[in-house]
Amino acid sequence: MNTFKNIISVLVLTLGIQYVNGQNISIDETYTAQELVKDILINSSCANVFNVSVSGGNFASGEKSFGFFDGTGTSFPFQKGIILSTGKINNAPGPNSYLSDDGGSMGWNGDPDLNQALGLSNTFNATILEFDFVPLGTSISFDYIFSSEQYLSNPMSNQCNYTDGFAFLLKKNGEPNYENLAVVPGTSIPVKVNTVRGSGTICPPANETYFDAFNGTVHPTNYNGQTKVLTAQSNVIPGETYHIKLVIADEGNYRFDSAIFLGGGSFNFGIDLGDDRLIATGNPLCPGETLTVDATQTGATGYQWFLNGNQIPGAINATYSITSEGDYTVEIYFGTTTCSPPSQILKIEYAETLVVNEDTFTECDADTNQDGKTVFDLNAIKNQLFTNLPANYVVSFFETQTSTTALPTSYTNTTAFSQTIFARVTNIQGCYTDYPVNLTINTFTETITDETLGLCESNSLILDAGSGFTSYSWNTTPVQTTQQITVTTAGTYTVTLTNATNCTKDKTFTVDASGIATIDNININDFQDNNTATIEVSSTSLGDYEYSLDGINYQDSPIFYHLEAGEYTVFVQDKKGCGIVFETFYILDYPKYFTPNNDGYNDTWFIKNLDKRNLENSTITIFDRYGKLLKQLTGLGDGWNGTFNSQTLPATDYWFEIQLSNGKSVKGHFTLKR
């Protein structure tokens, strides 16, 4: 930064660049210490100031490290004020084109009080402005800006801890210790380069809310950066004598000058009227509440109260009772002079008188167990609870009036069917009691069962949702609202049922297109150890079918197993009730034995029902175990009686071959028993 600013300085001189004076602050070194304090810093007839002194650098040229500055017409935040520097103040005006680096090798010492306040031991080049004063009010405050060449925009890492020090030291006469008022707001941290610094360099930021900027060349001052306008303040006791010491110094060496700019007229002997009462801070006045404010000051001869800058008629006492919101101030007069130390502005707001709109909320139990517990949206309840809830009011809900744990936004009641919870305004204290909120949970206990029905071809179907409900709403177009509706097309029909407690459930009817079956074929696989019949239904049949061989016992499978030889009737029934069809079929098989003993039972061996299958032209050939042809039959014959050439054959096994007229051949053997 040094090199850059030196280059800029050379360019300015070499090229003759002219900076308009109005862009930069100007300084005046002719003011006395008394004038700087009474006429510039305080500028009030209420000031009781004495023992004013100032000291700084003893420059051979007669230049000073303190004086008056004028910022009128510039972008500098202060129009005028006092500057205290660790170098020559005539280097303070902008542009920021060279390094202000004064005070070396001239025996310019630091300050022990500053060392003690900041915990230092090595300060140099101290400039000090100090005076005694007697406050009329209960507080003092003044505004300032800290500027420094040590706010480097491109520092090396070892420069991050470079910092000059300053302090605003206050103590009541007779007390041994000072209080430093130049601290980061809300803390006890002294304001320095490394405690208030912005981001954007290799040095870590610190309290950057209070940092203004790193400066380029064009700036009203010749410093590399500065804080925002800060306020030093303290409570004081009216009538007591105080000493204040405003001091700034270099730390470690004389290098990289710094300065304090004190806002002209900003030193106020104010009256503290107490804390603001605001909704934002949670402490507004409650509806109808009166706040009495006491501004009594020793030696005061008169008072005048103001509301929003306007005089309040008749409000001329030390105390005033506030009954409406606004900004309050008071002027306090002393003796015959017009001295009136300004009071702070006391901001007053009133909490809203909340009007309950609705405090009972009903929900239906939304789950399946209907136990009287369900989820409530407490955000929605909050928005309906009051007719006039301000947007910045925070309302939370609690299970009891003593509970401190807020309920979640989605809250499931813990007491079945009915429960009272409590709404509480949590960001405003003391104005509201808890508001009871009644939760009611209704149920739908009626059992509702969905149904699946068949709609037979060319027919209509009545859907009946059941009686006993207060309303019905079907998902038809247009919506139908009757207990029963008639449908002529398949689909899903849903009806919303409302019971006497205004709770609802849905019942769904699934209507499938259906119809009576058409049997296309019965696929028979016989002459097997496991004879089967498979019922084949036409692909154009719409229904869901079941099958039976006795018309009583039905099965879903169209296949029947382990069928013995004989006549069967198969029944095909539509499960949706669209009708039954039936058809007869025959299972063929050969007898495993026969007993030709002329008892009239099983005396011949033959194949039954060949003609029923149109196989009567089949040829049956019988052999003995040696392959000798014994008999040849047709499907219409009487069978074989166990003889050959009228001779009775012995009991044993015999073999056969059936040449069916459909081209199929069946071979096997059977037993002749005597």
How many whole angstroms separate alpha carbon 459 and alpha carbon 621?
57
Q: Are residues 575 and 603 in the same domain?
A: no
Token pair belonging to 420: 């009272």
> Is 353 part of any domain?
no
The SS3 of residue 218 is coil
CATH of the domain at 455: 2.60.40.10
For the chain, the C-alpha Rg in angstroms (whole number) is 55
How many whole angstroms separate alpha carbon 501 and alpha carbon 417?
12
- Give the up-direction half-sphere exposure of residue 444: CA atoms within 13 A in the CB hemisphere: 22
Which of 328, 348, 368 delimits the end of a domain? 348
Q: Are residues 605 and 535 in the same domain?
A: no
> Is 103 part of any domain?
yes
- pLDDT at 136 (0 to 100): 77
Which of 298, 324, 348 delimits the end of a domain? 348
CATH of the domain at 654: 2.60.40
- pLDDT at 655 (0 to 100): 97
Give 10-residue mean pLDDT values along the chain (674 residues).
43 40 86 93 82 91 94 95 95 91 82 89 91 86 94 88 89 93 94 93 94 94 95 89 94 85 86 88 95 87 93 96 95 72 85 96 94 96 96 96 96 97 95 97 95 90 96 97 96 97 96 93 94 95 93 97 96 93 96 93 93 93 95 90 94 95 92 93
Q: Are residues 476 and 610 in the same domain?
A: no
pLDDT in tens, 412-432: 999 999 999 999 999 998 999
pLDDT in tens, 427-457: 998 999 999 999 999 999 999 999 999 899 8
Residues 6+ apart with CB under 8 A from 132: 49, 50, 51, 173, 241, 242, 243, 244
The answer to whether 140 and 233 have CB atoms below 8 angstroms apart is: yes
The SS3 of residue 527 is coil
> Which amino acid appears at position 122 of this protein?
N
Dihedral (CA of 15, 20, 25, 28) sign = positive
Helix (H) or strand (E) holding 443: none
How many whole angstroms separate alpha carbon 293 and alpha carbon 341?
17
- Reference 83, options 66, 96, 71, 102; nearest CA is 66
Where would I find the beta strands (DSSP E) of 43-102?
A: 49-55, 66-70, 80-85
Where would I find the beta strands (DSSP E) of 215-253?
A: 225-227, 230-235, 242-251
Q: Are residues 237 and 172 in the same domain?
A: yes
Q: Are residues 24 and 101 in the same domain?
A: yes
Which of 247, 269, 291 delimits the end of a domain? 269
> Is 355 part of any domain?
no
> Is 354 part of any domain?
no
Long-range pairs for 315-324 at CB < 8 Å and ≥24 separation?
A: 318/294, 319/292, 319/293, 319/294, 319/295, 320/292, 320/293, 320/295, 321/290, 321/291, 321/292, 321/293, 322/285, 322/290, 322/291, 322/292, 322/293, 322/348, 323/290, 324/348, 324/350
- pLDDT at 458 (0 to 100): 84
The SS3 of residue 382 is helix
Torsion, Cα 220 221 225 229, to 10 degrees, reads -70
pLDDT in tens, 179-206: 999 999 999 999 999 999 999 999 999 9
Q: Are residues 82 and 157 in the same domain?
A: yes
Q: How far is CA 24 from CA 2, 41, 78, 155, in A?
A: 21, 21, 12, 25
Q: Are residues 374 and 429 in the same domain?
A: yes
Helix (H) or strand (E) holding 34: helix 33-34
Q: Are residues 124 and 48 in the same domain?
A: yes
Residue range of the domain that includes 572: 519-587
- Reference 438, options 413, 419, 417; nearest CA is 419
Q: Are residues 376 and 327 in the same domain?
A: no
Q: Are residues 523 and 419 in the same domain?
A: no
Task: Look at the chain and report how many structural domains it folds into.
Answer: 6
Q: Are residues 49 and 94 in the same domain?
A: yes
Q: Are residues 88 and 181 in the same domain?
A: yes
- Give the up-direction half-sphere exposure of residue 654: CA atoms within 13 A in the CB hemisphere: 28
> Is 174 part of any domain?
yes
- pLDDT at 165 (0 to 100): 84
Token pair belonging to 100: 């202000």
Q: What is the 3-state secondary structure (H, E, C) of 257-280?
A: CEEEEEECCCCEEEECCCCCECCC
The answer to whether 268 and 141 have CB atoms below 8 angstroms apart is: yes
The answer to whether 457 and 542 have CB atoms below 8 angstroms apart is: yes
